[in-house]
Amino acid sequence: MRFWLSKSSEVPLREQLTTQVLLGIFSNDLKPGQKLPSTREMALRFRIHPNTVSAAYRDLASRGWVEFRKGSGVYIQRAPENASIDADMQLDHLISTFFQAALEKGFPLREVQSRLKQWLELQPPDHFLVIEPDAELCRVLVAEIKEAIRFPVMGAQPDDGCQASLAGAVPVFMFNREEQIRKILPPRMPCLLLHARSVPATLAEKIPISPNALIAVASRWPDFLRWARAVLVAAGVSPDALLFCDAREARWERGLQEATAVVTDIVTAKAVPSGCRQYVFNLIADESLDELRRFIECLEPEKRDELID
C-alpha cells in the first residue's frame, strides 16, 4: 500500500499516518501478518523525525491494530491461525467437530440427523440488519446496501432495542466492530462482516486534483469529513483548496456550486444542489457487497424470489 504524508498540512503527520494505516486495514489493502515499513524507512522516505512514526505505530499497537515483534518489525495484527485454511476444509472441519461433540455427549446419530434436518428447514432470514453505533454511518451503510442489493435492509444501534430487531435478521456490521457487536448477539448467530473500500485508490481515480481545483467534501458523518481531509491533504491537495460542509448544519450547501468537485456520501448526495459535479464515495468494498449477494443466492429459491421481486 502506498502512503502519502504532507509536512505542509495542518493535519498532524502522526494523524495522517495512523489514518492511512487504519483505512488500509479496513479496506483489506493491509492484510493480517503484513509487515509495515520500518520507523527508519518511513522517516527517511518522508524526511520526518523517527519519533513521529514511532508514536503513530505505538498508537496503533495500543488499539490492537498492529503488533511489535522484537528484532523483526511492526506487523498488522494477525488473523486467527485457521484463517488461511481452504474454505472447503474449514467447513468439513466444522461439520466433523459438530458430529464428534454430539456423539461424545451421547446423542444417537439418528437423533442428530433428525434435529439437524429440522434446523436446516427453518424459515430463512428475511432481511439484513446493519448494526452500527454511529447513527450517521449506519444510515450511509444501509443506503449503500439498499442501492446495490434488492433485499430488505434495516439499521440499528447496538443497544437494548437492537435485540427486538434480530428476529428474522442477518446481522451485518463493519469488521472492526466485531468484538463489540458479537457480545450482544445470541451465541453462534450467523452474521456478515463489511470491509471498507480502499479510500486512497478510489479518491485518486475519481477526483480531479489540479492546482486550480477547489474540492468540497460534504457529509453528515463527521468521520467522513475527517478521513477525506487526511487522505486528500496527504495526496497533495492544498488545505486552502478544500471546503468542508457538515450537512447537519444550517445552510451547509453554501459554496458548493463554486467547487470543481463535491465529494460526498450516498445519503448526503441526495441533498447536494443540482449542477454540482458530484463524486459519490461508497464506503463498502465491492467484495463485501458480493458476499451479501452470495448469501441471498444461498437462500431457498422460492423465498429468495419472493424477497427480491
Q: What is the pLDDT of residues 97-106, one digit of tens each?
A: 676 677 778 8
Asked whether residue 182 is domain-assigned, the answer is: yes
Indicate if 162 and 289 belong to the same structural domain.
Answer: yes
Residue at which a domain ends, from 99, 122, 145 = 122
Dist CA 175 CA 194 (whole Å): 6
Please report the pLDDT score of residue 129 as a whole number: 95
Of 207, 209, 210, 132, the closest CA to residue 172 belongs to 132
Domain count, the chain: 4
Indicate if 186 and 289 belong to the same structural domain.
Answer: yes
**Does the pLDDT of residue 117 top 50, yes or no?**
yes
Indicate if 49 and 147 belong to the same structural domain.
Answer: no
Indicate if 187 and 300 belong to the same structural domain.
Answer: yes
Distances (CA, A) of 262 to 35, 49, 107, 249: 35, 35, 62, 17
- pLDDT tens sequence across 216-254: 999 999 999 988 888 888 777 888 889 999 999 999 999
Indicate if 38 and 147 belong to the same structural domain.
Answer: no
pLDDT band at 203 (very low <50, low <70, confident <90, very high): low
Indicate if 214 and 253 belong to the same structural domain.
Answer: yes
Indicate if 155 and 295 belong to the same structural domain.
Answer: yes
Q: What is the pTM of this model?
A: 0.70
Indicate if 93 and 208 belong to the same structural domain.
Answer: no
Strands 169-174 and 127-131: parallel
Indicate if 208 and 270 belong to the same structural domain.
Answer: yes
Asked whether residue 266 is domain-assigned, the answer is: yes
Indicate if 140 and 212 belong to the same structural domain.
Answer: no
Rounded average pLDDT over 173-190: 88
Asked whether residue 2 is domain-assigned, the answer is: no
Asked whether residue 49 is domain-assigned, the answer is: yes
CATH number of domain containing 22: 1.10.10.10
Host domain of residue 243: 199-280
Indicate if 175 and 306 belong to the same structural domain.
Answer: yes
Indicate if 293 and 163 belong to the same structural domain.
Answer: yes
Asked whether residue 204 is domain-assigned, the answer is: yes
